[in-house]
Amino acid sequence: MATLHVLDHPLIQHKLAILRNAETGVKEFRELISEIAGLMCYEATRNLPTEEVEVQTPVAVAKCRMLSGKKLAIVPVLRAGLGMVDSMVDMIPSAKIGHIGLYRDPETHQPVEYYCKLPEDIENRVVFVVDPMLATGGSAVAAIDFLKAKGCRNIIMMNIIGCPEGVKAVQEAHPDVELYVAAVDEKLNDHAYIIPGLGDAGDRIFGTK
Ligand code: PRP
Ligand code: URA
């Protein structure tokens, strides 16, 4: 079963409360998505392997730890996942970035793929898939299916808001994937929007409605 990590850190929860508010404007919404992603990145990278290195300080040699093992990649699900990329790259500047374009068909709520460009060596990397919303789970499952078809075996999913339906879908389809969310909301409505959620993440990040 995919491990679900709900990040209940006070800073994340405080920012999430402002993010959800219908009165929060586009600029602040975009900044908050980025800030929350940066804080979530801190937790989602907690189990990355490190190795001991010796560093010459101005006065002595210090035994330090640096990241080791596989290189990293960040894959936003377009569009809304783009809002989470910059703060992740600030933390992990050497990560390569792939893009998977999916939109939900408004009638069927099924994901439709329209773009995919991934680093050539993606199968050798630990991949962080980022998307603010995990609703039916269709987009997350499709993105992970896609990455696995390319040979990726080490995948971590990061969503800001999930719901029971989406968590279940990812856990059933991809039990090996670690799932990090800031909240698991109550349910989906008839249009497959998360309740209470925050509305349409893509529209609020890019100001399209
Ligand atoms: C949103 C969101 C996820 C998806 C979640 O994207 O960013 O990708 O819906 O829903 P699901 O779990 O039911 O698949 P949307 O399809 O609205 O596209 P956008 O990012 O371009 O706005
Ligand atoms: N996509 C969103 O942006 N919001 C939801 O509540 C569900 C899917």
What are the tens digits of pLDDT across the range 118-146?
999 999 999 999 999 999 999 999 999 99
Are 82 and 76 in contact by the 8 Å Cβ rule? The answer is yes
Q: From the alpha carbon of 192, which atom of ligand 1 is closest? A: 13
pLDDT the model gives residue 106: 87
d(CA 37, CA 168): 22
Question: Is the CB of 136 inside a 6 Å radius of any atom of ligand 1?
Answer: yes
Cα–Cα–Cα angle for 71, 74, 77, nearest 5°?
155
For range 192-198, the mean pLDDT: 98
The ligand whose atoms approach the alpha carbon of 201 most closely is: 2
Q: From the alpha carbon of 134, which atom of ligand 1 is closest? A: 12
Question: Is the CB of 200 inside a 6 Å radius of any atom of ligand 2?
Answer: yes
Q: From the alpha carbon of 142, which atom of ligand 1 is closest? A: 14
Which residue CA neighbors atom 5 of ligand 2 most closely? 193
- pLDDT tens string 67-117: 998 899 999 999 999 999 999 999 999 999 999 999 988 899 899 999 999
Cis amide linkage into residue 58, ω under 30° from 0:
no
Question: Is the CB of 194 inside a 6 Å radius of any atom of ligand 2?
Answer: yes
Q: What's the CA-to-centroid distance between 203 and ligand 2, angstroms?
A: 10
pLDDT at 16 > cutoff 90: yes
- pLDDT tens string 19-35: 999 999 999 999 999 99
For range 149-159, the mean pLDDT: 97
3-state helix, strand, coil in the chain (%, to 5): 35, 30, 35
Q: What's the CA-to-centroid distance between 176 and ligand 1, angstroms?
A: 22
Calculate the average pLDDT of the chain. 96
Q: How confident is the model at residue 11 (pLDDT cuts 50, 70, 90)?
A: very high
pLDDT at 178 > cutoff 90: yes
pLDDT the model gives residue 2: 74
